């Protein structure tokens, strides 16, 4: 195995099985051909053509689009075509810094190839023998990726709050990190990828943060989504990422980014260095 295997696993999208999904002039996602055929049931909401799916042009603003799409999504969920409904509205926008065109249920995002945004935080501690990283193990009863290793704090970006606000919220919920410590998190970049899971397409963007923690701090799972935390030497974390698939798929990328920035992955010793650097921002 190699670090690059994780980058490739997150960038396995084949557009041949999809049609672009548009709202006006903006491409906002990708829809599998089979789902496109299902959407013909709602001609007042979706215009389904041979090469594309678009929202009806009469849906002219955020609220109109959001309300119109909600009923078909709920019907598809009742038929088992969308699973794990969460009642979490996500923004629909091709660019985080542009106003959202509508809101959509989080569980529907991959089915419609909607770009989901998220925050991933690498919490670390400096010790006399070097940097150690806090690693979370996801709860064994989570509906997605149960029991897998994860970044110390990570979460999807819901509609209506800022990125740092979400980091502080997730720090408290997932790891019991007080607000006064969480506010010290430093934004360090963004990762993008286009992944093709069985349900559709994930052209996602992860905003990454570093948080240096005091050696005496001990995280605890406040919301039950984490089974346990480990504080491991950065070399051990690097070995697990390089040699296994024990981490949730996209968490590997946040750690690889950290390893590059900290010089653990170095251009003199890593033959895939350039491919890794480019691959962390390879999303469509």
Let me know if residue 223 belongs to a domain. yes
**Final residue belonging to a domain, choices 53, 81, 112:** 112
Beta bridge partners of 126: 131
**Whether the predicted model's global pTM rises above the 0.75 cut:** yes
Render pLDDT for 197-212 as a digit per residue (tens, 0 to 9).
Answer: 999 999 999 999 999 9
Let me know if residue 284 belongs to a domain. no
Q: Give whole-number Cα distances, 116 to 29, 33, 136, 244, 257, in Å.
A: 10, 21, 22, 26, 19
Instruction: Please check the confidence at residue 111 and state whether its pLDDT lies above 90.
Output: yes
In whole angstroms, give the CA distance from residue 9 to residue 148.
16
List the CATH number of the domain containing 101.
3.30.750.160
The count of domains in the chain is: 2
Instruction: Please check the confidence at residue 143 and state whether its pLDDT lies above 90.
Output: no
What percent of the chain is predicted at pLDDT more than 70? 100
What percent of the chain is predicted at pLDDT more than 90? 94
Same domain flag for 225 and 238 = yes
* Structural domain for 241, as ranges: 3-10+116-279
Residue 277's pLDDT band, with cuts at 50, 70 and 90, is very high
Let me know if residue 125 belongs to a domain. yes
Instruction: Please check the confidence at residue 221 and state whether its pLDDT lies above 90.
Output: no
Same domain flag for 180 and 63 = no
Residue 80's pLDDT band, with cuts at 50, 70 and 90, is very high
Render pLDDT for 51-60 as a digit per residue (tens, 0 to 9).
Answer: 999 999 999 8
In whole angstroms, give the CA distance from residue 65 to residue 13.
27
Render pLDDT for 238-268 as a digit per residue (tens, 0 to 9).
Answer: 999 999 999 999 999 999 999 999 999 999 9
Same domain flag for 122 and 209 = yes
Same domain flag for 150 and 262 = yes
Instruction: Please check the confidence at residue 191 and state whether its pLDDT lies above 90.
Output: yes
Instruction: Please check the confidence at residue 84 and state whether its pLDDT lies above 90.
Output: no
CB 120 within 8 A of CB 210: no
Half-sphere exposure for 101 (CA within 13 Å, toward CB): 23
Q: If you average pLDDT over residues 67-89, what whole number do you get?
A: 94
The set of residues, in sequence order, having a beta carbon less than 8 Å from that of 236 and lying 6+ positions away, is: none
**Final residue belonging to a domain, choices 112, 140, 168:** 112
Same domain flag for 219 and 108 = no
Let me know if residue 90 belongs to a domain. yes
Radius of gyration of the chain (CA): 20
Q: What is the mean pLDDT of the chain?
A: 96
């Amino acid at each position: 195995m190699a670090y690059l295997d994780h980058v490739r696993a997150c960038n396995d999208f084949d557009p041949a099985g999809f049609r672009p999904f548009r709202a006006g002039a903006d491409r906002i996602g990708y829809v599998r051909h089979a789902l496109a055929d299902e959407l013909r049931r709602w001609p007042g909401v979706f215009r389904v053509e041979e090469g594309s799916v678009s929202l009806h042009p009469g849906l002219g603003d955020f609220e109109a689009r959001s309300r119109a799409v909600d009923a078909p999504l709920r019907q598809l969920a009742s038929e088992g075509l969308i699973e794990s409904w969460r009642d979490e509205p996500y923004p629909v926008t091709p660019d985080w810094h542009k106003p959202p065109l509508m809101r959509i249920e989080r569980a529907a995002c991959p089915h419609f190839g909607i770009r989901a945004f998220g925050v991933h935080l690498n919490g670390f501690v400096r010790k006399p023998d070097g940097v150690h990283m806090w690693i979370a193990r996801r709860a064994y009863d989570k509906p997605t990726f149960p029991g897998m290793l994860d970044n110390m704090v990570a979460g999807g970006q819901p509609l209506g709050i800022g990125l740092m606000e979400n980091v502080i919220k997730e720090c408290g919920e997932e790891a019991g990190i007080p607000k006064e410590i969480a506010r010290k998190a430093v934004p360090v970049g963004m990762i993008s990828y286009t992944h093709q899971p069985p349900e559709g397409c994930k052209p996602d963007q992860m905003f990454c943060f570093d948080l240096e923690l005091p050696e005496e701090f001990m995280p605890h799972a406040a919301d039950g989504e984490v089974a346990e935390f480990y504080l491991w030497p950065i070399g051990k974390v690097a070995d697990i990422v390089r040699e296994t698939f024990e981490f949730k798929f996209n968490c590997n990328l946040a750690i690889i980014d950290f390893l590059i920035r900290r010089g653990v992955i170095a251009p003199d010793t890593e033959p895939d260095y350039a491919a890794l650097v480019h691959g962390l921002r390879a999303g469509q």
